[in-house]
A and B are shown apart, each in its own frame.
Chain A
């Protein structure tokens, strides 16, 4: 790594730092609730490295705790992660020229938080002195989040064993979903999607392995798309 590349890398680390304020409590909560759900600590830590997607990991924990089957859990978390396809498409023009190993590394690190920081850099500033080193910035931002995520998971796992079940800390997971949901409900299609999905859960509750959850989310997607299209036509 030469000096300008190091400077870009460190700039990425620095600009990612404020976003850790949101990510670190998430990681701790994930570690605590994974233990509460009966997932072995080593496997919960491995999931943070392999999946590396906070919301999906919380969903997996939440569903396993509720006794969901493997397929509904995989479908729900897979559906939730579909948004990364959008980030990938958005980043394609910026990193498409890089060697394959760079593209694979940056793809692995492409989370909500790293995307948010890196895309701003790519949009705001043309490469300095003709040489494009902005992938080092992307790498710095992604690595910073990765490191904090692994560490906060470990912290939650160590800390979580000492917390008595009566504290009901796993209730913090649905509370997190409520907070994220409220932020998403500013527009009519989002409201329709949430309403249909919430109603669908009650409607399909009797289906085995929590398959009703998958159906309810699909119903929500349908309602959201339909409402958005109707508003476009109006």
Chain B
């Protein structure tokens, strides 16, 4: 865990960058158009980020790949993914995933 000062710098830095994105086209470069490649790139940011974060949370432990069949979290995540696919609801996904985690922790 980094120091409080580093955390403040991180928050302020990400906040400044985010405000820059939001203000850029309506304030700084008003009248300019975004290039087409940037449009194309932005469409893939969300799926790439969420997949990387999910894989990291499930299969990376202290900087090493750990895929264990008797670990409850990947299985709970799989059940959550099925619920997400069928329902399309974030709340139902979280509910199913947490319930699956608790049950699997009792069984495994």
B-binding residues in A (CB < 8 A): 22, 25, 29, 37-40, 43, 46-47, 50-53, 55-56, 59-60, 62, 64, 66-67, 69-70, 73-74, 76-89, 91-92, 95-96, 100, 103-104, 106-108, 110, 168-169, 171-185, 189-191, 193-202, 205-206, 208, 210, 213, 216-221, 223-225, 228-229
Contacts and interface: CB of A to CB of B under 8 A. Distances in A.
Given A182-B88, A197-B47, 15 more contacts: A25-B90, A43-B7, A66-B57, A81-B17, A83-B42, A85-B24, A86-B34, A178-B93, A183-B88, A184-B46, A194-B50, A202-B65, A206-B63, A210-B56, A228-B44
B10 interface: yes
B48 interface: yes
Interface of B: 1-2, 4, 6-15, 17-19, 21-27, 30-31, 33-34, 37-60, 62-65, 73, 76-77, 80-81, 84-85, 88-91, 93-94, 97-98, 101
A218 B78 CA distance: 25
A69 B1 CA distance: 9
A78 B43 CA distance: 15
Contacts, number: 273
Contacts of A74: 10, 13-14, 17
Cβ-closest 7 pairs across A and B: A220-B48, A224-B44, A50-B15, A194-B51, A179-B93, A88-B25, A107-B23
Give the most central of B2, B18, B25, B81: most A CB within 10 Å.
B18
Contacts of B85: 182
Given A81-B18, A176-B94, A225 B44 contact: yes
Contact of A194 (B14, B40, B48, B64): B48
B51 to A, nearest CB: 4
Give the most central of B55, B60, B63, B101: most A CB within 10 Å.
B55
Contacts of A80: 45-46, 49
